[in-house]
Structure 1
Amino acid sequence: MQSKNYHEDLSHIRSMMERSSRFISLSGLSGVVAGLAAIIGMGYVCFVFKREGLNYFEGERITFSKSMVNELVITGIVILVVAILSGYFFTANKSKKKGLKIWDATTKRLLFTFAIPLVTGGLVCLGLLYHHLFSLVAPATLIFYGLALVNAERYTLTDVKYLGFCQIGLGLISLFFLGWGLIAWTFGFGVLHIVYGLIMHKKYK
């Protein structure tokens, strides 16, 4: 009986330490919504390419007009906003159900470690756009987003790093097949997010 109580106490202490050091309210459903937003957004991008008579699979040989670049950037921003809002909504809802604070010292550390590679990657992508290296943007976003996930893993669910490794791998591969960058981007931000989100929702709901 004492042994049972001892193990229960250890489990309780371990749970308390986990909650204090890691942000464990991250919702898998937010990953699903983010993935769907990415796929829908990429569908619109394909429509834009078709409308402009461009073949993205030509890689670095294609030329984008300024208006088209602006349209693609706005599309990317909309996808990002949808992903952030859905992430906040589902995560806040999950935190409320578990009686946990969504904003604490751990959340701040998570956002800081996540933001460093992400902001750096955003600036790199702006530089690529400035120099008209459009075909490198998709691989770059995958790589830096993957690095952000791996970097943030220490403050949230361990499983996040595996998604990060997949994103980095896709980004590196697509660097050598520039005409397939958007396909890799759609698979990484769309399909992988949905698969990861469903697995996490089932595992941690």
Structure 2
Amino acid sequence: MAMKFELPALPYALNALEPTMSARTLEFHWGKHEAAYINNLNALIEGTPLENDTLEEIVRKADGAIFNNAAQAWNHIFFFFQLAPNAQHEPGGLLRAAIDRDFGSFEAFREAFSKAGATLFGSGWAWLSVDADGRLAVTQGPNAQNPMRNGAIPLLTADVWEHAYYLDYQNRRPDYLAAFWNLVDWKVIEKRYEDTL
């Protein structure tokens, strides 16, 4: 079987996000969980009408196991590629103006986003997205949920599956979410936002 999708190389070393996120977490979270989603997806789409689609196209239209593996593969790439060891810790420019417009302040946005991640029951994701009206919205969704399914454009996500944080924070999801902001590179999020305009 030809491998359509492959695990991309991270833009930083496995230990580069320490102490916020340990090399051991990345070894499991990226090296095992994400690799499994990609391998499962390749096996599931072989011989189906989806086998020549992009990952984003599969996320938008698939269901069941194909959707779960495709969305988890996409979500994890999106998550890990927004992090950096020397991150820009606050947004500027057009994104900062949009955050101030739609949330009142950057601090109010962070509070709303962290709350969405902390209060989601079970496993899933917290998101900052641009909705169909061009406004920013914070949402939460279970399992492999992705805002693209609702016509929104994701800008930022936090993985709140236990495998994202349990090795470093055990059951303390709010502590993980508080530390998460140390790694979010707002240069990446600004670029994602500007690409929607």
Higher helix share: 1
Higher strand share: 2
Q: TM-score, normalised by structure 1?
A: 0.29
Name the structure, 1 or 2, with higher relative contact order (CA <8 Å, separation 6+).
1
Q: TM-score, normalised by structure 2?
A: 0.30
